[in-house]
Structure 1
Amino acid sequence: MSPNTDYLLDTLQKLLAIASPSGFTDQVVHFVCDELARLDIPFELTRRGAIRATLEGRQRSPDRALVAHVDTLGAQVKSLKANGRLEVVPVGHWNARFAEGCRATLFSGKRRYRGSLLPLKASGHTFAAANDAQEANWQNIEMRVDVPGGDRQALVNAGIHIGDFIAIDTMTEIDLDSGFINSRHLDDKAGVAVLLTTAKALKESAETLPVDLHLLFTITEEVGSGASSVLHQDVAEMVSIDNGTTAPGQNSSEYGVTIAMADQTGPFDYHLTHHLIHLCHEHGIGHQRDIFRFYRSDSASAIEAGNDLRTALVCFGIDASHYYERIHLDALTSLTRLLWHYALSAPLFADDNKLLTARPDFPHMP
């Protein structure tokens, strides 16, 4: 299987161009729906916009799911200040230090305004050493909106309100020579692009899937609820696609596939995780294992919502997660290859199509 890198990168760029902080995801949902329709893959939506598409297999159950999230980090207006600037709060968990100096778009009804996120003491010529002494926290961040006037009334006249969403510029750069991709919000727009690329390859191939495969696109992973509502009880295996942090003390890499053995919510399913590792060995896919102490994914929200299913997490290594992120094309193509082979592999356990099973049918650890 040779991934279509042109389609992958084109889809990624289109996704990154659509603002989609958690709670403001309708437009990116429409984009994914349009792409699924173009690929002739049937889908349905939850009330809020999570997507469940289906590629049919020889049998319906025990069916599988692949999941990636379309929502990103962002901010909201907390208050309109007397100096004509905005107090803001983060959407999702990210450090205020990573917000300083960002250009951003504020969405207010049908209008949008440009602006910058700045520390309260932003002028070096005025505050000098106090610039460095100011603590990096969200109470010390404000948005300078590009609206004439310079006072609170100017903001009111512009129709800006508390709760308006703020989307952070991605500053996307793709270097085809080196293979590196730099951008904000690669978490998890890169995962969505990988999922769509895999779906396109499966749809266009002559291969028949052994069981139904659901493609899930969630809209609230960055705020913790993720795959809590888009699943049905019929799904037996679910593989999340997200980022793996390449940082000191971690084993993730910007190359190959990073397979998570556990995250802050605990270990992933032993059998499903080792099945993915076996597929990497069998098909010559570069990979490494890692454990994340301060990280959770769609798999966690699915389990916490009461779904009894096997979960795993496969990752593209990402440097400077939740900041100005960098990944490598090799990780995205490696992930696409792994998901292709996983979709075509036999179900782990035939009796996983049952919610409850007899003891003789329950597996053993090696």
Structure 2
Amino acid sequence: MQRLTIDTAYLAAVLARLLNIPSPTGYTDTIVREVCLEIERLGLSYELTRRGAIRAVLPGRESKPARALIAHVDTLGAQVKRLKENGRLELVPIGTWSARFAEGARATIFAEKGAYRGTILPLKASGHIFNDEVDSQPTGWPYVELRVDALARSPRDLVHLGIDVGDTVAIDPQPEFLHNGFIVSRHLDDKGGVAILLAALKALKAEGAQPEVDTHFVFTIAEETGVGASAALANDVASIVAIDNGTTGPGQNSDEFGVTIAMADQTGPFDFHLTQKLVRLCRDNDIRYQKDIFRFYRSDSASAVVAGHDVRAALITFGIDASHGYERIHMHALRSIAELVTAYVLSPVEIRRDAEETSPTVRGFTRQPMDEAEQQPGLVDAPDPAGDP
């Protein structure tokens, strides 16, 4: 078995610390600094891009074909759209999430003169005033407003406070870590993934394990708005595995326990060979897993491929209930994914051809089963040396 033991107390502590750092897309400097410090504490150096994407490389015996594991530090949030006549704030969302989950949320407005606290409320918030209309008003961002906890009864008052159009609004996570392993919070997507990568990196460093090839631990800063890993990968990377949330619920096969391996998202199927390798690693290492397909979902892997990176891409997820809302996960899934990450990092590279961007021959190129005979050893000629990434 190749998987390593994961320090779940460390994983939970890192996740709790990350959840308490506001980091909506576009306002990620503080959490980037925290992740960089944690990487240093683990004894690894890193590279930081202009805008804040992080690349930490665990050196392998060879440099190519390099692998990358990716999670994103940014979360959902909101921006000030308009200063309203009543001294409250109209909002637009950062990322895709329903105003239904914004109602009642405590929030922080990051303004020019400092931070202010407030609450997101429906336009008709008091039953003593609006009676049954509090339950019949529409749901949507035009029907909520942010009440600032300061003397603000007009746009002029808001300007005096330094609040203006475009200011970032961070939503409180309100995390709870329960003794039975469940974790309930906003923004588990994808701070759970970040904590997983750091816990896996800790296990690899503690073991003194050296991967066969360079392995890049990548933390992106704008996944929730579709940018993700589009500009965060080094040229030597030939395969990427994103770690993000899986969508549990009706019609889905994701689970809050074990690893959920995504077979496809809205951009299409993930790489056949890399995905099958992850499945085999789960089987060989006795890691609980299930497969799922996400119809209304894309991740760092998808953004990298859409941006034109010629890489094999896969996605492994921890099942989340009520994704992009008030989310719930279980430590079993986080630990299982971290174990799979360690097994993947230490696994051999079979597709050596991937070390080069192009090849003048099909020798070493991969094969996919086409008929029953081809799947039975001895009934067909031996293929060219190839396998999974």
**Bucket of the pairwise TM-score, normalised by the shorter protein:** over 0.9
For 2:274 and 2:294, locate their aligned partners in 1 and report how far apart those are by CA, in whole Å. Answer: 18
Distance 2:272 2:69 in 1: 17
Q: Which residue number corresponds to residue 110 of structure 2?
A: 107
3-state DSSP class of the match of 2:366? coil
Distance of 2:34 and 2:300 partners within structure 1: 21
C-alpha separation in 2, matches of 1:303 and 1:287 = 25
RMSD, matched Cα: 0.8
| Partner SS, residue 247 of structure 1 | coil
* Counterpart-to-counterpart distance in 1, 2:199 and 2:113: 33
Matches within 5 A, 1:173-184: 173-176=176-179, 178-184=180-186
Instruction: State the shift of 1:278 in Å.
Output: 0.1
Correspondence 1:274 to 2:276: yes
Tell me: CA distance 1:149–1:73, structure 2 relative to 1, closer, same or farther (3 Å): closer
The yes-or-no answer on 1:230 pairing with 2:232 is: yes
- Per-residue deviation, residues 81-136 of structure 1 (Å, max 9, x unmatched): 11010011000000111101101011113511110001111111111221222111
Deviations 1:216-250 (A, max 9, x none): 00000000010011112211110000000111000
**Number of equivalent positions:** 365
Query: Does residue 25 of structure 1 match 2:19?
Result: no
> How far off is 1:360 after superposition?
2.0
Q: Which residue in 1 is equivalent to 2:367?
A: 364
Aligned partners of 1:288 and 1:124: how far apart in 2? 45
Paired with 1:361 and 1:251, the residues of 2 have a C-alpha distance of 35
- Sequence identity (%): 57
Following superposition, the deviation at residue 204 of structure 1 comes to: 1.8
Determine helix, strand or coil for the equivalent of 2:234. coil
Q: Find the counterpart in structure 2 of residue 94 from structure 1.
A: 97
Q: Deviations over 1:276-335 (max 9, x none)?
A: 000000010000000000000000110011100000000001000001100000000000
Tell me which moved more, 260-269 or 102-111: 102-111
- Give 2:299's aligned residue: 297
For the residue of structure 1 that corresponds to 2:170, the secondary structure is strand
Q: Indicate the residue corresponding to 2:331 in structure 1.
A: 329
Identify unmatched segments of 5+ residues in structure 1.
none
Separation in structure 1 between the aligned mates of residue 291 and residue 113 of structure 2, nearest angstrom: 46
* Residue 308 (structure 2) pairs with residue 306 (structure 1): yes
Equivalent of residue 355 in structure 2, options 353, 356, 366 = 353
Q: 2:49 aligns with which of 46, 49, 70?
A: 46
Partner of 2:74: 71
TM-score, normalisation: structure 1: 0.98
Instruction: Find the aligned partners of 1:114 and 1:161 in 2 and give their Cα distance.
Output: 15
Please give the secondary structure, in 2, of the residue aligned with 1:307. coil
Any conservation in 2 of the 1:242–1:297 contact (CA below 8 Å)? yes
Q: State the shift of 1:149 in Å.
A: 3.9
* Preserved contact between residue 65 and residue 237 of structure 2 (Cα < 8 Å): yes
1 CA distance for matches of 2:98 and 2:307? 28
Residue in structure 2 matched with residue 213 of structure 1 by the alignment: 215
Looking at structure 2, the residues matched to 114 and 300 of structure 1 have their Cα atoms a distance apart, in angstroms, of 35
Corresponding position of 1:343: 345
Asked if the contact 1:233–1:308 (Cα under 8 Å) also holds between the matched residues in 2, the reply is no
CA contact under 8 A between 2:220 and 2:232: conserved in structure 1?
Answer: yes
**Distance (Å, rounded) in 2 between the aligned partners of 1:241 and 1:48:** 21
Q: Does structure 1 retain, via aligned residues, the 8 Å contact 2:352–2:364?
A: no
Q: CA deviation at 1:348?
A: 3.4
> Which consecutive residues of structure 2, in runs of 5 or more, have no partner in the other structure?
370-389
Match of 2:119 in 1: 116
Map of 1:179-194 to 2, 5 A cutoff?
179-194=181-196
SS in 2 for 1:100: coil
Conserved? CA contact 2:249–2:321, under 8 Å: yes
Residue identity opposite 1:121 in structure 2: K
1:257 touches 1:285 (CA, 8 Å); kept in 2?
yes
Matched, 1:35 2:38: yes
Q: 1:275, CA displacement in angstroms?
A: 0.2
Counterparts of 2:153 and 2:210, CA distance in 1: 62
Answer yes or no: is the 8 Å Cα contact 1:12–1:190 preserved in 2.
yes
1:81 lines up with 2:72 in the alignment: no
Q: Kindly provide the amino acid, as one letter, of the partner of residue 70 in structure 1.
A: V
- Once the two structures are TM-superposed, the CA of residue 75 in structure 1 deviates from its matched residue by 0.3
Give the distance between the partners of 1:214 and 1:129, measured in 2 at CA. 55
C-alpha separation in 1, matches of 2:182 and 2:35: 24
Deviation, 1:28, is: 0.3
Q: Within 5 A, what are the aligned runs for 1:155-170? A: 155-170=158-173
C-alpha contact 2:113 2:161 (8 A) present in aligned 1? no
Q: Which string of whole-angstrom CA distances, capped at 9 and with x for unpartnered residues, describes residues 24-43 of structure 1?
A: 00000000000111112111
Q: Note if contact 1:147-1:154 (Cα within 8 Å) is conserved in structure 2.
A: no
Give me the whole-angstrom Cα distance separating, in 2, the residues matched to 1:142 and 1:356: 54
Instruction: Select 2:58's aligned residue among 26, 30, 55.
Output: 55
The aligned residue for residue 203 of structure 2 is 201
Contact persistence 1:273–1:312 (CA under 8 A): yes
Larger Rg computed on CA atoms: 2
What's the offset of the Cα at 1:22?
0.2
2:137 counterpart (129, 134, 152):
134
Query: 2:185 & 2:365 partners in 1: Cα distance?
Result: 45
